[in-house]
Structure 1
Amino acid sequence: MALYTRVVDQAFGVTVRFDADDSEIDKVGLDLVRSDGGDCGEVLQEDWGSANAEEFEETDDGYEVTLTDLDYGEAVARARLRARLVVDGTSQWCEWFPFLPWCGGGGQVENEGCSSDAFTIRPAKLSLSATTNPAEEDLTEEDLTRSDWSNYTPKTCNNEVCQAAGDNFNLGIEALPTGQGFDAEILLQPSDHPQAPAWMALGTLSLPTSLSFERDANKVTTDQAAYTEAGLVAVDAHDDGAFAAVDRDKGHCVTGAADNTVNADGLVGCRTALPEPEPLGRFIPDHFAVVDTDDIDPDYITNRSALSCDGEERDEFTYLGETLAADVTLEARNVAEAATENYRGEYAPLSALDWSVVAPEAEDGHLDDRLELVRDTSGWEQGQASFTPEVTVARADEPDGPFTADVAFVATDADGVALREATLDVDRDGDEDNDHRLAGETILRYGRLAIERLTAATFSEVDLPLRAEYWDGDRFVENELDDCTPVELRYRSLARGGDPEAAEWEGQPALGDLALREPLPPRLEEGEVVVPFEAPEERGEVAVCADLENHAYLHRGANEDLPDVCQGSPRGSVWYGISSGNENVLYTREVFD
Structure 2
Amino acid sequence: MNFRFGRVGLRFAALLMLFAFAPGARAATYAHVPATFGWIDPSAHTPVVWTGAPGGPAAECTGGSAALDDDISQELPLGFTFNYGGTNYTSVRVMSNGRLQFNNRFCGYGTQTVSPRTYPYPYANANVVRTMRVYGADLDPSAGGAVSWASIGSAPDRRFVVTWTAVPEWNAAGSFFDLQAILNENGQFVYQFGASNNPSGGKAQIGWELSTADYDTIAFTAIGTLAGTAILFYPAAGGEPAGGFNAFETSTGAGSIAGVIRTKVSARSFDLALVALNAAESAVATGFTGSVKVELLDSSNNSGALDAAGCRASWVPLPGFTPLTASFAAADAGRKNVTLTAANAWREVRVRMTTPATGTPTATGCSNDAFALRPASLGVAASDADAQSAGTARMLANTGAPGGVVHKAGRPFTLTATAYDDASAITTNWQGSPSATLTAFLLPSSCLNGGPGCVLATGAFAGSGGTVVSNTATYGEAGAFTLRLTDADWAAVDAADSSADEREIRSAPVAVGRFVPDHFRLAAGSTLTPACAAGGFSYMGEPFGVSLTLLAENAAGEITMNYHEGAGAFSAAQLAGLSWVAENADDGVSLAARLVPPATPSWANGSLMLPAAAQISLGRRTAPDTPDGPFDSLRIGIGAADPDATVKIAGMDMNAATSGDCVGAGTCDAAAIGAATRVRFGRLRMINAHGSELRSLPVPVRAEFWNGTGFATNTLDGCTAIGTVTPNPAPSTCTLNPARSGEGTPLVAGTGTLTLAAPNARGCTDLLMTTPSWLLGRRDATDQGGDGNLHDDAAAARATFGIFRDVLILRREVFR
- Are 1:206 and 2:457 counterparts? yes
When residues 450 and 403 of structure 1 are mapped into structure 2, their CA distance, relative to the original with a 3 A threshold, is same
- Is contact 1:172–1:221 with CA below 8 Å preserved after alignment? yes
* 1-structure distance, mates of 2:724, 2:388: 67
Where structure 1 has 5 or more consecutive residues not aligned to the other structure, the ranges are 89-105, 258-268, 294-298, 504-508, 579-585
What SS does the corresponding residue of 1:246 show, helix, strand or coil? helix
Would you say the 8 A contact 2:689–2:799 is kept in 1? Answer: yes
Deviation, structure 1 residue 573? 4.1
Opposite residue 407 of structure 1, the aligned amino acid is: I
Distance in 2 of aligned mates of 1:183 and 1:400: 71
Aligned residue identity for 2:671 = R
Give yes or no for contact 1:481–1:526 (8 Å, CA) kept in 2. yes
What residue identity is the alignment partner of 1:316? G
Q: What is aligned with 1:34?
A: 298
Q: Deviation at 1:352?
A: 3.5
- Given the alignment of the two structures, is residue 52 of structure 1 paired with residue 287 of structure 2, yes or no? no
Partner in structure 1 of residue 536 of structure 2? 316
Alignment of 1:105-504 (within 5 A): 107-134=359-386, 141-146=392-397, 152-156=399-403, 160-177=404-421, 178-182=426-430, 184-194=432-442, 196-198=444-446, 203-208=454-459, 210-211=460-461, 217-241=465-489, 243-249=490-496, 252-255=497-500, 257=501, 269-274=502-507, 276-292=508-524, 300-304=527-531, 312-313=533-534, 315-324=535-544, 326-344=546-564, 345-346=570-571, 349-359=574-584, 365-368=589-592, 371-386=594-609, 390-395=616-621, 396-404=624-632, 405-419=634-648, 423-430=652-659, 433=662, 434-435=667-668, 436-439=670-673, 440-492=675-727
User: Which residue identity lines up with residue 560 of structure 2 in the other structure?
Assistant: T
Any gaps of 5 or more consecutive residues in structure 2? 1-258, 277-283, 565-569, 785-790, 809-816
Q: Give the letter aligned to residue 438 of structure 1.
A: A
- State the one-letter code of the partner of 1:419: K
Please give the root-mean-square deviation of Cα atoms over the aligned residues, in Å: 3.9
Is residue 11 of structure 1 aligned with residue 269 of structure 2? yes
Corresponding residue SS for 2:493: helix
Q: Which residue of 2 aligns with 1:526?
A: 749
Conserved 8 A contact 2:415-2:473: yes
Is the alpha carbon distance of 1:142 and 1:325 closer, same or farther for their aligned partners in structure 2, counting shifts above 3 Å?
A: farther
Note the C-alpha offset of 1:576. Answer: 3.8
Q: CA deviation at 1:546?
A: 0.9
User: Conserved in 2, the CA contact under 8 Å of 1:546 and 1:570?
Assistant: yes
Letter in 2 for 1:121: L
TM-score normalised according to structure 2 size: 0.54
Query: Corresponding residue for 1:94?
Result: none
Paired residue secondary structure (2:445): coil
Q: Which residue in the other structure is 1:85 paired with? A: 355
391 and 418 in structure 1: CA distance in 2 versus 1, 3 angstrom threshold: farther
| Contact in 2 for aligned 1:40/1:80 (Cα 8 Å) | no
What residue identity is the alignment partner of 1:132? D
Q: Distance in 1 between matches of 2:644 and 2:580?
A: 19
CA shift, 1:567, in A, is 7.5
Size of the aligned set, in residue pairs, is 500
d(CA) in 1 for partners of 2:342 and 2:467? 19
The CA distance in 2 between the partners of 1:410 and 1:233, in whole Å, is: 29
CA distance in 1, matches of 2:677, 2:530: 7
Cα separation, partners in 2 of 1:567 and 1:280, compared to 1, 3 Å: closer
Secondary structure, in 3 states, of the residue corresponding to 1:142? Answer: strand
The verdict on how the C-alpha distance between 1:145 and 1:460 changes in structure 2, with shifts beyond 3 A counting, is closer
Question: 1:361, 1:180 → 2: CA distance?
Answer: 62
Matched residues in 2 for 1:244 and 1:136: separation? 35
- 2:55 corresponds in structure 1 to none
CA-CA distance at 1:181 after TM superposition: 4.9
Q: Secondary structure at the match of 1:410?
A: strand
Give how far 1:341 is off.
Answer: 2.3
- 1:75 CA drift (Å): 2.5
Report if the CA contact (8 A) 1:31-1:43 is conserved. Answer: no
**How far does the alpha carbon of each residue in 1:468-504 deviate from its partner, in whole angstroms, 9 at most, with x for none?**
112223332211122332432225389xxxx97695x
> Match of 2:716, SS?
coil
Q: Is the 8 A contact 2:686 2:699 kept in 1?
A: yes
Cα contact 1:129–1:173 (8 A) shared by 2: yes
Greater RCO (CA < 8 Å, at least 6 residues apart): 1
> Separation in 1 of the partners of 2:360 and 2:794?
124
- Asked whether the 8 Å contact 1:401–1:473 carries over to 2, the reply is yes
Residue 92 (structure 1) aligns with: none
Secondary structure (helix, strand or coil) at the match of 1:331 reads: strand
User: Does 1:43 find its partner at 2:43?
Assistant: no
The answer to whether the Cα contact below 8 Å between 1:352 and 1:375 also exists between their aligned partners in 2 is no
Conservation of the 8 A alpha-carbon contact between 2:265 and 2:376? yes
CA 1:21–1:198: 2 relative to 1, 3 Å: closer
Give the structure 2 partner of residue 93 of structure 1: none
With over 3 angstroms needed to count, the CA separation of the structure-2 counterparts of 1:27 and 1:526, relative to structure 1, is: same
Identity %: 23
Aligned equivalents of 2:416, 2:267: Cα separation in 1: 23
1:71 aligns to 2:71 (yes or no): no
| Structure 2 Cα separation of the partners of residues 400 and 221 of structure 1 | 62
Cα contact 2:684–2:775 (8 A) shared by 1:
no
Rate the CA distance shift 1:535–1:198 in 2: closer, same or farther, 3 A: same
Q: What is the CA deviation profile of residues 221-275 of structure 1, one whole-angstrom value per residue up to 9, with x for unaligned ones?
A: 222222211211333321234x4333321xx3223x2xxxxxxxxxxx221122x
